[in-house]
Amino acid sequence: MANLQKEYGAMGWGRATNTLIRQRLDALLTQAVGSPIMIVRGPLGSGKSTSVNDWLKRCDPEKRTWSWIDLGAFDASSESLEDAHASDAATRSTLYQELLESHYAKSSAPDAHLVVLQRFGSKHEPFIGPTVNRIVSAHPGRRFIIMTHELLDVERTRSLAQIEISVIPPQEFSFSIDEAKAYLQGTQLEDLATELTEEFNGSIALLRIARLRAQAIEAAVLGGKSFNPFTNVQIKKTQISGPQSLAPEAQAIFDAITAAVREDVQLLIEKERLGAQELDFFAIIAVPNLIDRRLLALIYPDAQPQWLADLEARGLIHRSLCNPEGGYLINPVCRQVLKEKFLARPEDRLRELHTICARFELEHGSAYQALNFALQAEDYQLATDVIRLHADEYLEGELGQRGAHLLDKLQLTVLARYPLLAMSLAVAYSATGKYKFKTLELLALAATGAHTLARKAPVVDRLIMIMVESGAMRLSGFGDAAVRTARAGVRLYNEMTPGERDAIGRFEGAILVQLSLSLHSGGTHGEALEVLELGVVAESKIKSAQNGNYAGTVLAYYYALDGNMRKAKEQLEESYPEYWLRPEANDYFATPFRLASYFCAMEEQRFEDAQCWVDLMSLGQDSNEFWPAIRLAEAMLAIIKSETTSSVVRLQGFLSREHEQPVAQRTGKLMLNTAASLLSLAAGDVGSALRVTQKSVGGEAKNLLQSRIRLAQGDAREALRLASSVGAPASPRGRFEKSVVILAATLQQKNYAAAADAMRMVEALSKEFCLGLALNFLPAPDLERVLAEARKMGIALIIGENAISPMPGGLGRVVLSERELAIMEELVTTGSTAEIAERQFVSVNTVKSQLKSAYKKLGVSDRSAALEVAYVQGLLAQKTEPEDGEAEEQ
């Protein structure tokens, strides 16, 4: 038979209009019916019979080419199967064969006839299976649809069968939301279709019960017999996004209908007339989400082996799609009814069951389910262990997406006693980009609880508490306290024995990463790098292409910040880049990888690639503790692309909303100051660039930034002095930037002999560490001189030969009048305008006027800032500690 669908069409199959047309399912059935045998498997109430029957009636309303056999009804009505000969396999096979032949004899097209075998079970397989195989082999045009609750042997071995067998699994029969809306159209439940579909897991039977219940209530009200919960209720679609967001009236309807459905489900279970022990067993296996055979021995040691098979044959449980051989599922509503109505459950017993399920899920299953069961058992230490052992999954996958909702239901007293839970919830709140004060409250709770509990805890728990306290301090803005706590954690880790370290488990790498981040945020980069290298080694035990290597990406980020681009690229390649390049990768955890990749692209002059990384990093940056680094990256690229003004506006917007973001620590503030200074300098605003450098928390970075400003002003001598005062920077980036400034300054002075040595130093550092970006930020005239000298010396730099710098040059210095300079020199030793007026033999008003003019030229508003700028500008020869007090201003 070439194509059954075409053949059916040729037979003139019509269409019924009184059934719900499900195009998706119709397409599956039409495709599957091309196989000689189609297996339709699903639990009781899944809608198999209704769906197949409706589809067949739409295809052939007259039933000329198909017939329906209810094997359950046939077995019950056939007296022959009840006598002594029924046990004979040959007799049974003969009866079923005669039954099939009778249907073929009545068919108008016996060679293309389709037979539906409803309620087909494993007990029928030995007697009907051979007959079915023989028929389809002898008559290729004949078809069978086997409808069953069970996983049959014919399905298990279908890949080895000579006959093509198609299977439609249980989930295909569930109503989608759109199908449920169509089914409930015209009823009071139409606008609740989404919520009811999710609540009933798309079960056709339960949705049918819900519709019948709603119609019964409505009919009773029309007869004046009862109260109608639907009276005067208008459910707006904008109100509905889930049961917890319904309007009060709609929620009342939803609760009433679901309660009524649960009552009917209870009656259905009671009608099955299970034995007392089997019913108790059925109720207990409703506690876990997935009934794993390995779990049964733990929660019900006295289980009889035939009970599972019996429950499956009745359609009360069905096979898991992920593990059909070893796992079973129960409809969520049925589970709820079993636990509420049939489980003999003292609280201690139920708590014990939840604990067993949590430990089983922790070892064999889902981390989210383990956390869920642990919290239901009120075993908060076990919940803490779940998060500790699956820290790499938090904010990723099911644990991260849904686990926070479980933690959010806990009382503050519980969170205070279990700080890791409070910390995890705080991270989840922070990830939303909202609720800053709620996040800080939880962080403070975690820090306080961790500090209290760490005193008497075992060594492993104490290390975890220290990590929690340090991380909470870091994210709350207490950088120095975070560094102190992190150092205490590192000391404790170094003192631990190998056995104690092994007891930490998979959380070891995550602990060291968090301690390292606390150290790094506080500016102790050397210590942070040492601790992180230990974390990379610890995480190497569990890293894989499935979970990436987060510690490795953070290490690559550190290398990129330091300017060791060669090591950064090597580390990125070892950190499973295919994992971090996934579109669904968590924005927070992927940020170090993206930042390191961005810096590599910038140093290699691949600015289009760098723009792609900036676009990726902009996702979720408001709630990301790496946001200062992201701002620096965006500012540097904006300068290269000559988009300075828009970048300045964006940076100012972020700084004005700093209270909405994780608090920037010492390293973060340095990054923000660097970004602001470079942007101001690129815009030609020397005053703003100078003011920002006064806030810099790093002496090395401060001097290098100021040397760039002096270079842009054409003051090569001061630029050389500031760059030389840096000494020998520890980082390759610092050494390279210093060498670049010295090279540009010596070329400004036309000291070509010294410039040759500086050029060779720049070349050596560039080749060794793959650096070149510092050249792009030279003032345009200086970059031209550097490139010309490089061509003259035959030196190839990473930057292109025809590169043009976006940084302006020749900005000039502030020029003060002779009297203003005299007033500024007096301002060094005193802040009193009266004393200055007496020394200069002028009036106090004259001093105030001159100070106001000088402040305006310097772009400052107070004495200390004016002196700082004057020193940087070279207006004052040497710096002396000023006396206390401020100059009086009007």
pLDDT single digits (tens) 483-501: 999 999 999 999 999 898 8
Give CA angle at 158 (154, 161), nearest 5°: 100
Q: Which of 36-40, 84-88, 296-300, 505-509 has the lowest mean pLDDT?
A: 84-88
235 Cβ contact list (under 8 Å, min separation 6): 191, 192, 246, 247, 249, 250, 253
One fold for 410-542 and 818-873: no
Query: For residue 515, is pLDDT > 90?
Result: yes
Distance of CA 75 to the CA centre of its chain: 54
Give the integer Cα–Cα distance in Å for 831 and 420: 53
DSSP lists the bridge partners of residue 240 as: none
Check if CATH label 1.10.10.10 holds for domain 818-873: yes
* DSSP strand pairing (165-168 vs 66-70): unpaired
How confident is the model over 305-315, as a mean pLDDT?
Answer: 89
CATH code at 4-173: 3.40.50.300
DSSP string, 346-387: -HHHHHHHHHHHHHHHHHHS-HHHHHHHHHHTT-HHHHHHHH
In tens, the pLDDT along 317-374 reads 888 777 777 788 898 899 899 988 888 777 788 889 999 999 998 888 788 889 999 9
Choice between 433 and 335, residue whose per-residue pLDDT is larger: 335
User: Where does the pLDDT of residue 878 fall: very low under 50, low under 70, confident under 90, or very high at 90 and above?
Assistant: very low
How confident is the model over 555-563, as a mean pLDDT?
Answer: 94
Third-level CATH fold of 410-542: 1.25.40
How confident is the model over 605-627, as a mean pLDDT?
Answer: 85
Q: What is the pLDDT of residue 135?
A: 92
User: Where does the pLDDT of residue 3 fall: very low under 50, low under 70, confident under 90, or very high at 90 and above?
Assistant: very low
Supply the pTM of this predicted model.
0.68
Q: What is the pLDDT of residue 665?
A: 80
Choice between 215 and 84, residue whose per-residue pLDDT is larger: 215
Choice between 882 and 199, residue whose per-residue pLDDT is larger: 199
The sign of the dihedral angle between the CA atoms of 295, 297, 301, 303 is positive
DSSP lists the bridge partners of residue 807 as: 779
Percent of the chain with pLDDT over 70: 86
Q: By three-state DSSP, how is residue 859 classified?
A: coil
Q: What is the pLDDT of residue 494?
A: 92
Q: What is the pLDDT of residue 603?
A: 93
Burial class, 850, CB count within 10 angstroms (exposed 0-12 / middle 13-18 / buried 19+): buried
Q: Which of 74-78, 105-109, 395-399, 725-729 has the lowest mean pLDDT?
A: 395-399
Q: Please compute, for residue 693, the number of CA atoms within 13 A of its CA located in the half-sphere on the CB side.
A: 29
In tens, the pLDDT along 123-164 reads 898 889 889 999 999 898 999 999 999 989 998 888 888 889
Query: For residue 888, is pLDDT > 90?
Result: no
Q: Which of 126-140, 187-201, 852-866 has the lowest mean pLDDT?
A: 852-866
Question: Per-domain residue ranges for the chain?
Answer: 4-173, 177-268, 272-345, 410-542, 714-812, 818-873
Query: For residue 9, is pLDDT > 60?
Result: no
Q: What is the pLDDT of residue 571?
A: 93
User: Where does the pLDDT of residue 5 fall: very low under 50, low under 70, confident under 90, or very high at 90 and above?
Assistant: very low
Query: For residue 8, is pLDDT > 70?
Result: no
Q: What is the pLDDT of residue 219?
A: 65
- Into which CATH architecture does domain 272-345 fall? Orthogonal Bundle (1.10)
Query: For residue 233, is pLDDT > 80?
Result: no
Token pair of 175, please? 């109503």
Query: For residue 201, is pLDDT > 70?
Result: yes
If you average pLDDT over every residue of the chain, what do you get? 82
Q: What is the pLDDT of residue 238?
A: 31
Query: Dmax over Cα atoms in the chain, in whole Å?
Result: 134
Q: By three-state DSSP, how is residue 299 classified?
A: helix
How confident is the model over 773-785, as a mean pLDDT?
Answer: 91
- Cβ atoms of 730 and 524 within 8 Å: the answer is no
Choice between 413 and 327, residue whose per-residue pLDDT is larger: 413
Q: Which of 99-108, 293-302, 648-657 has the lowest mean pLDDT?
A: 648-657
